[in-house]
Amino acid sequence: MVKYVAFMFKIHQPVRLKPFTAFNFSNYVKYGLEDMYDHPLNKDVFIRASRKCYIPATRIIVEEARSTGFKATFSVSGVWVEAALRYCRDTVDLLRDAADAGCCFTAQTYYHSISPIFQSLDEMAEQIDMNRSMIEDVFNIKPKVADTTEFIYNNDIGLKIWSMGFKAAVTEGAERILKWRSPNYIYQSCISNLKIFTRNYRLSDDVAFRFSNRLWDQYPLTADKYAYWISKSSGDLVFIAVDYETFGEHQWPETGIMDFLRYLPRKLRENGVEAITLNEAIDLLNPVDTIDVPPQNTLSWADAEKDLTAWIGSPLQAKALQIYEYLEPYVKAIGNPYLKHWRYMGVSDNFYYISSKHGSSGEVHMYFSPFKRDVDAYTSFTSWLTLFYREVIEKYIEKITEYAWRINLPKNLSYKFNNIEVKSLNDLYQIIKSYSEKASQHLIDGNIQKWIREVFLWNDLAASIDDEVKKNIDKAAEAALKTLEKFKAPK
């Protein structure tokens, strides 16, 4: 019989874009990038969720933590905290009370973003670091556990999280990975010492999706019944993770969900089960086996498929991601405010809305989406993205002699020199210097110049290298180095 249970509550609200209309476009032209966002709607949704969920649910958890020793783990996106501090600071104060009462926090991607799906995981790591710093600053807790957007996980993601100093990560307890094994144990990555918590999705979904379903053969779900189910589970630890909005927003108060939350801690204790945080579980329990999640079998907790198809399962989603991801090196070269806006647009919800799924998964997507059709979501999002794209490239071109030297390219845009990936102009300089003879042929053929034109968008530099190489065919590498030095941005 299981002795421990760990509850995780995921807290996030997207920064919603306005629908793309002629009127909204005209305001964008007048007022700029900030007018892409539907701030009145964002405020209304946040205040409603605060009233129905965040405030009453957190008060219950704080009361139970102080009276029964109940503990939970919160996963809070940075954009949610930004909104909370803007619209309803009481929600943050209550979470601070929960931290003081023994609850803990994980570090997720700051923008609850699509970044774990990128070819490079550097943006994901940057956002997790941002979130970790925010949690320390706002709640005075240093997270030991990382959880990426919607529990997206594979071996590469686990290795990146381990390299960042985290002790554990979370993901879905899907049968295709666990096979015959139970999710009610701690596992370890097959390529590092990172501990892995696997969500018991059946017990989690009993609360998140089935709680108010009168056609369910276990309806009604009471705190007593649920605590009994947990106590009779085999294993070391039952890991339950749900969206926090389950309590009062997705499952309305009239369903009895708040009473369920209030009485569950004491019923767990009566059944001999202790509610602990993930931080405590790391120290209390040891892994029983390793799990192998290759990138082609990436997990998430989304939909029945529990993979990446919630965000890139259709051609429209894949196209939107391609356009979005292409901008990364340019916005990072320019910096804020463009980087901030790019990250807001990369909130995973924007890609979730474009899903064309049907059946039970499609119904969940439609519940959350403000659009009636996937093509409407795609058209609106990519219209804003295209306008933003144009503005970023124009800004980049204005100071290309400065920004181009800051570019650090992803794998798909890098120049392939033998087995070396050239990701920047500084890399290019070192490669030409170190492999002058081999680099000369690339320069004489014009391949490097073509890369500079098409990727760095720097026609003047490419043309100057062309001219100097043609004048000095026998010393092509030397000519290219001198040209790069001439165009080098001052430090």
Which residues does the annotation mark as catalytic?
150
Helices (H), 335-424: 338-345, 348-352, 359-368, 374-398, 400-403
| Nearest-angstrom CA–CA distance, 316 and 162 | 33
Place of tokens 């000095």: 472
**What residue type is assigned to position 377 of the chain?**
A
Burial class (CB in 10 A: 0-12, 13-18, 19+), 238: buried
**Tokens encoding 204:** 């989690």
Tokens 């589970």: give the residue: 233
If you search the block for the tokens 């430090």, which residue do you land on? 491
**b/e burial code for range 371-407 (CB count within 10 A of at least 16 → b):** beebebbbbbbbbbbebbbeebeebbeeebeebbbbb
What are the residues facing 291 on neighbouring strands?
189
Contact between residue 127 and residue 147 where contact means Cβ atoms under 8 Å apart: no
Rounded to whole angstroms, the Cα distance separating 445 from 457 reads 19
d(CA 175, CA 449): 50
Instruction: Report the distance separating Cα 323 and Cα 19, nearest Å.
Output: 19
